[in-house]
């Protein structure tokens, strides 16, 4: 049986998403090859003969290794999903911070534009009042000049005094008219300035609304991502705890992949050897038959020991069903059933030296 302190490594390091993807593709390919070999071994076993038990044991071992490869990829996939969510949340959080800063700037711009518009409005109002006052003065001056001329004419003999008054009134009227003309031009310019400031205020307000809406959407997205990440982390931690409780070290996927690669090559080589032994004669078949009996006994131990872990993983699946499909965690349980045996001797934990490589 294996040393109780021995642990099987099946999980990836936290920041190895790229490696996860590469290993996942390799694991799928190797699992497919193992399934093909297991199918062939099962067909050979079905043909009967002294080697049939050995082929049956090899087929079961191939399926077990393939299942373990699937577990490695499934757990790595959970890690990738969590890591991707974490990255998305980080990006969303950065977006929230950026938009909050932009929103403050947009508010400042809107306030500044509004202040400029208010000042332009005040200046325009003042200019209009001045222009209206000048227009009234022009009317009064014109009326005064008209009255002086009428008086001078009515006197029958206009004097120098009338002439001087008329000249002064005429000069004042010309001055007022010139000043009113300038006031009118000022009103026109200030009216244009006010229109521009009002347009700038509207644009600033529109930009502020757009940034505010984007900020709200990003905050909402970040909130949803945060909830999803929390659920993923809880599911991942629950799965990791169950794996650790089963004696599985969730620390180094690369090492486990190497061990699985070795186990895959080893079982494939032994399958080739067994096929060759069938062609070599009865002596080799007898040896294969002895091997098969021992292998079948050890596989039986592993299968019986898997029931307890299967129940445990079922409970975990129900607990984290909100984050991951129950079927996925039940799949973990089915695969981990192969690992849950706790034999007492190193020889008993192996089938011809490489079933799970637990030594």
What are the pLDDT digits (tens) for 152-168? 888 876 688 888 888 99
- 317: pLDDT confidence band, cut at 50, 70 and 90? very low
- What is the mean predicted confidence (pLDDT) over 131-139? 94
Residue 130 has pLDDT above 70, yes or no: yes
- 60: pLDDT confidence band, cut at 50, 70 and 90? very high
Higher per-residue confidence, 239 vs 177: 177
pLDDT (0 to 100) of residue 278: 80
Residue 316 has pLDDT above 50, yes or no: no
Residue 149 has pLDDT above 50, yes or no: yes
pLDDT (0 to 100) of residue 176: 93
pLDDT tens figures, 256-287: 778 888 889 999 999 999 888 886 754 444 45
pLDDT (0 to 100) of residue 331: 42
Residue 137 has pLDDT above 50, yes or no: yes
Taking the CA atoms of residue 22, residue 23, residue 24 and residue 30 in that order, the dihedral angle to the nearest 10 degrees is 120
Residue 320 has pLDDT above 80, yes or no: no
pLDDT (0 to 100) of residue 302: 39
- What is the mean predicted confidence (pLDDT) over 72-95? 88
pLDDT (0 to 100) of residue 299: 43
Average pLDDT, the chain: 74
Residue 13 has pLDDT above 50, yes or no: no
Q: How much of the chain, in percent, has pLDDT values that exceed 70?
A: 67
Higher per-residue confidence, 342 vs 258: 258
- 338: pLDDT confidence band, cut at 50, 70 and 90? very low
- What is the mean predicted confidence (pLDDT) over 78-97? 92
- What is the mean predicted confidence (pLDDT) over 207-223? 94
pLDDT (0 to 100) of residue 66: 85
Instruction: Check residue 353 and give left, alpha or beta (phi > 0: left; psi -120 to 50: alpha).
Output: left
pLDDT (0 to 100) of residue 261: 86
Residue 352 phi/psi, 5-degree rounding, is: 55, 35
Higher per-residue confidence, 48 vs 346: 48
pLDDT (0 to 100) of residue 31: 77
pLDDT (0 to 100) of residue 156: 74
pLDDT (0 to 100) of residue 247: 52
In terms of pTM, does the model score above 0.75? no
First to last CA, the chain: 9
Q: How far is CA 258 from CA 10, 71, 72, 75, 261, in A?
A: 11, 15, 12, 16, 5
Domain ranges of the chain: 8-92+233-349, 97-216
> CA 39 to CA 45: how far, in whole Å?
10
pLDDT (0 to 100) of residue 69: 79
- What is the mean predicted confidence (pLDDT) over 332-354? 36
Which residues touch 322 (CB under 8 Å, ≥6 apart)?
Answer: 231
pLDDT (0 to 100) of residue 281: 58
Highest-pLDDT range among 9-23, 70-84, 337-351: 70-84
- The answer to whether the beta carbons of residues 176 and 134 sit under 8 Å apart is yes
pLDDT (0 to 100) of residue 244: 67
pLDDT (0 to 100) of residue 236: 84
Lowest mean pLDDT among 189-203, 218-232, 332-346: 332-346
pLDDT (0 to 100) of residue 33: 84
């Amino acid at each position: 049986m294996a040393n109780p302190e021995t642990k099987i490594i099946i999980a990836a390091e936290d920041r190895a998403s790229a490696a996860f993807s590469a290993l996942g593709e390799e694991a799928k390919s190797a699992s497919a090859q193992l399934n093909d070999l297991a199918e062939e071994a099962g067909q050979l076993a079905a043909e009967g003969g002294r080697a049939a038990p050995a082929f049956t044991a090899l087929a079961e071992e191939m399926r077990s290794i393939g299942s373990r490869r699937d577990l490695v990829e499934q757990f790595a996939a959970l890690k990738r999903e969590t890591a991707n969510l974490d990255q998305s949340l980080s990006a969303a959080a950065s977006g929230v911070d950026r938009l909050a800063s932009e929103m403050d700037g947009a508010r400042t711009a809107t306030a500044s534009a509004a202040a400029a518009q208010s000042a332009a409005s005040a200046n325009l109002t003042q200019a209009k009042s001045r222009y209206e006052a000048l227009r009234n003065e022009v009317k009064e001056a014109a009326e005064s000049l008209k009255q002086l001329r009428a008086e001078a004419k009515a006197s029958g003999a206009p004097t120098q005094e009338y002439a001087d008054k008329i000249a002064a009134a005429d000069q004042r009227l010309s001055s007022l008219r010139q000043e009113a003309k300038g006031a009118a031009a000022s009103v026109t310019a200030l009216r244009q300035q006010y229109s521009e400031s009002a347009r700038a205020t509207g644009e600033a307000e529109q930009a502020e609304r757009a940034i505010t809406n984007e900020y709200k959407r990003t905050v909402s997205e970040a909130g949803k991502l945060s909830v999803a990440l929390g659920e993923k982390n809880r599911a991942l931690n629950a799965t990791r705890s169950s794996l650790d409780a089963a004696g599985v070290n969730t620390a180094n996927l690369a090492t486990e992949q190497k061990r699985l690669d070795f186990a895959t090559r080893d079982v494939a080589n032994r399958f080739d050897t067994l096929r060759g032994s069938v062609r070599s004669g009865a002596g080799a078949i007898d040896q294969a038959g002895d091997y098969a009996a021992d292998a079948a006994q050890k596989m039986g131990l592993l299968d019986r020991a898997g029931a307890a872990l299967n129940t445990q993983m079922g409970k975990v699946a129900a607990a984290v069903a909100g984050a991951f499909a129950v079927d996925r965690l039940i799949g973990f349980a089915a695969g981990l059933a192969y690992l849950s045996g706790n034999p007492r001797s190193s020889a008993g934990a192996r089938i011809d030296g490489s079933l799970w490589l637990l030594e």
